[in-house]
Structure formats: C-alpha cells, structure tokens
Structure 1
Amino acid sequence: MDFHAEWFAAAPAAAACFILFCCLCAAARPALRVLRVRPQAFGVLLCFFAVFWSLDAGTGSGLHYHLLGVTLGCLMIGAPTVLWLVSLFLLPHMLLNAGAADLAVLPLNALALTLPAAAVSAGLRFAERRFLPPNLFLYIFVNGFFAAALGMLATGAAVLALVSQSPAFADADLRTRSFPVFFLLGWGEAFLTGLFAAVFVAFKPHLLATFDDNRYLRRSNSIWPSENQP
C-alpha cells in the first residue's frame, strides 16, 4: 500500500523518519556485506520488487494494494538488506505513482511495509530451525509459503492500524472493507514466495542466504524423526 502525505500529521511522519534513519544506520554494515557477497541476489530481488509492486489493485475505499516480496527478500539477502532495498525502491516508486509531495511519508511507508513481514519471517525461521527437523520441504513451506502469508496479514494489520488514525478515513470501516483484501493478497504472496524459494533451492541455492546445504541436503534428513534412526 502506498501512503499519501495528506493522510498523516507531521509528528508521526517525523518520528518515522528518525526511526528509519536509526534502523538504516544499524543495518548498513550487514547490508554492505550482503551486497559484496551476493550482488546477483540483490539485483534479482530488485526485479521482483518491480514486478510485485506493479500488480496494483484498488478498492472503493480509495486504498491501493500490491504484493510485497519482503519474505522472499529476507530469505535471499536478510532483513537488514531488505529494509535498505525497500527504502531505496520506494523513492522512484512513489515519485512515479504519487509525486514528490508524498515523499514526506516515505519513511512511514517503508517501516510499515517491511518490519511486520520481516518480523514474522525471522520468528518462523527461528521456530523452524529450533523445533523442526532439518528438512528441505519444511524450509520451503514454513519459511516460504506460511511466512509470506502471515507476513502479508501482519503488514495489513499494521498498515490499517496506521491509516485508521488518519482523519481521511475516519468514517471508513477498514476492518471489514479493506483487511479481507490482505487475505486474498496473502495467498498470492505465499504461492509466489514458496514457488521461487523452491526454484532457487533447486537451481540457484547461492541466492538464498538462509539456505544451508549441510543442514537441509543431508540424505538422512526426514520429516519423521524415526526415519533418521539407523
């Protein structure tokens, strides 16, 4: 979803600018490291963002929606680099679609579109590694499919929580009119993320920073623990 400057007061926009600046500073070193080690993944994900975000859909409430690609980005280059990439990508995206006047809310937009999905991705990836056996299909379905679907729902909840505070939507029933859209988008996001994760695992595993050959490709790995016993 693309925010517009007239939706928000100056105070939350300024606070978001400070928070984004601090987050980008903290993420600068790991992002540069990834850019040096995985420049190809950086370019591929940038192309995905261009395609995902061009699939724009609107509703009668005046809001417009698009796919994210953030979960796939977290698998490919990690959350710190994704935050940098989304922030940089939003600049031309907002200029082309809304104009320079809306750049004031770019930090708020970047945080809302990145942090919820990245947090869900990190949480599920930790749970998958901590509580589940090291199985290839679990990596794809948990970290790809389910993380993308839940990440889209979390993003929708965060975005609508912010927009609902705007006087421009004071009379709009966003919970019943807009939030169901994120359920539909979640299916598309989950399918594409899981699909590309599977393709990369099969043909280009070096594009996935979170994929470990030693963990997921050992012949003894199985979903059922009893099958791993000699």
Structure 2
Amino acid sequence: MWFSIVMAALFAATINKQAYSTLLARPARQTGVFACALCLALLWQIKAGILEHLNIHILGLTAVTLIMGWRLACLSGLMASLLLISFTKMSFEQLPEFLTLSVFIPIYISYGLYLLCYKFLPRHFFVYIFVCAFLCAGAVGATKILISGGYYYLSGLYDLTTLKENYIFYAVIMWFPEAMLNGMSITLLITYRPHWVKTFYDQEYLNK
C-alpha cells in the first residue's frame, strides 16, 4: 500500500502545466516520449536473475532523463511499465514497487546528479559526456541495486547473505554496462542531434 502512495507522490511531483502544455503542442516531443518508452520497455526485457524479484537489467534511465528532462522521463518510464504489463507476465500489482524502485527513484537520482554536475563542474562537452552521462549512469545503476537490496532485506524477503551473493554483488558488475550504454547513447545524440537532448545547451557546452 505504501508503495502506491510513494509512487503516486513521486509522479505527482512531475506534473507541471507548462511542461505538459509544451508536450501537447509539440508533436516531435510526443514522439520522443513514446520512442523513449518503447526503447525502455524493450531494454528492460533483457534481464537476468536466479531468484524471484532479484532481476538484473540495464536501466537506461539516465540517458532518458538527460534527453527528456526528469518530468517527461518519469512519463516515459510510466508508459514503458504499462507496456510491460500489457505484453509480458508483469502484473498490475507489481507496478507500484517497480515504478518506485526501478523507475522514479533512479530518474530523481539521475537528475539530482546532473544538477550537481551543472552547478559545480565546468560546463564542457566532455564533462557532459563522461560525468553527466557515463559516470552518473553507472552510479545510478549501482545505487538502484543497493536500494532494492536494502528494501528486500528490511522487508524480510531475503537474508543478507542471499542478497550479497545473488544481487548486491552485481552492483559492481552492472556499473560498467549501464555507464557504457547511457554514455554512448548521449554521445551519439549530442554529436548528431543535440537539439533532441533537453539538458544539453550548445552555447554553454560547445563554446569552450
């Protein structure tokens, strides 16, 4: 029950009249939201895990957050989750937990790290790629596993030894592929389609 409340609160915080008005007025932006949702849904199907709930997969949410902004990234994540419910074995009852732990919290962390980078680091093309996209994505992927592992332990679903050996251990392994996929995606976009990336400002990152 409390997962539903947290999920609703996290998504409610993203609702903004200006953001959604702009979305409705710009078909290209709508296409971006749908495209990101589809890519996420397909990406999340590539997963591995031995025990129930302890699935490992690449999130891809740092790249989506940088491309769409945190508000629309949450919308894309919600749509991707609904696609999983419609076309996979994922049930509607699993939605609050999945959205909270695997979608909204990683997006909030991704955007928070981006803001810290924007404020405290030089606004340079390579800083954006290697820190905002590459390093932050890896940190978000590892943090998601640690947070989920902490929840499963505190809820009594698994003991600490089982979590260490079958889940938390993979935070180290998944760091690099998460960082690589997000970093490569952002690199390609800001090289060939920089106007598609909402958080990338040409006048600040290229005029250096």
Name the TM tier (shorter chain): 0.7 to 0.9
- In 1, Cα distance between the equivalents of 2:73 and 2:160? 34
Identical counterparts, % of pairs: 22
1:81 to 47, 56, 72: 72
What's the CA shift for 1:119? Answer: 3.4
User: Higher mean Cα deviation, 38-47 or 132-141?
Assistant: 38-47
Superposed displacement of residue 51, structure 1:
2.9
After superposition, residues 1-230 of structure 1 pair within 5 angstroms as: 14-29=1-16, 32-33=20-21, 35-36=23-24, 37=26, 38-59=29-50, 61-62=51-52, 63-99=54-90, 102-170=91-159, 173-218=162-207, 221=208
Contact 1:87 1:110 (C-alpha < 8 Å) held by counterparts: yes
Which residues of structure 1 form unaligned runs of 5+?
1-13, 222-230
Letter in 2 for 1:21: A
Task: State the distance in 2 between where 1:17 and 1:81 align.
Answer: 20
Question: Is the 8 Å Cα contact of residues 81 and 99 (structure 2) preserved in structure 1?
Answer: yes
Secondary structure at the counterpart of residue 15 of structure 2: helix
SS at match of 2:169: helix
- Where does the alignment leave 5 or more consecutive residues of structure 2 unmatched? none
Moved over 3 A (4+): 94-97, 165-168
**Shift of residue 167, structure 1, vs aligned partner:** 4.2
Deviation at 1:172, TM superposition (A): 5.4
Question: Structure 1 residue 188: deviation in Å?
Answer: 1.0
**1:131 offset after TM fit, Å?**
2.1
Q: 2:79 & 2:31 partners in 1: Cα distance? A: 17
How far apart, in 2, do the equivalents of 1:118 and 1:23 lie? 10
In the TM superposition, residue 170 of structure 1 has moved relative to its aligned partner by 4.1
* TM-aligned CA deviation for residue 183 of structure 1: 2.1
| Paired residues of 1:112 and 1:158 also in contact (CA < 8 A) | yes
- Choose 161-170 or 125-134, whichever is displaced more: 161-170
TM-score normalised by structure 2 residue count: 0.86
Paired residues, what number?
A: 203
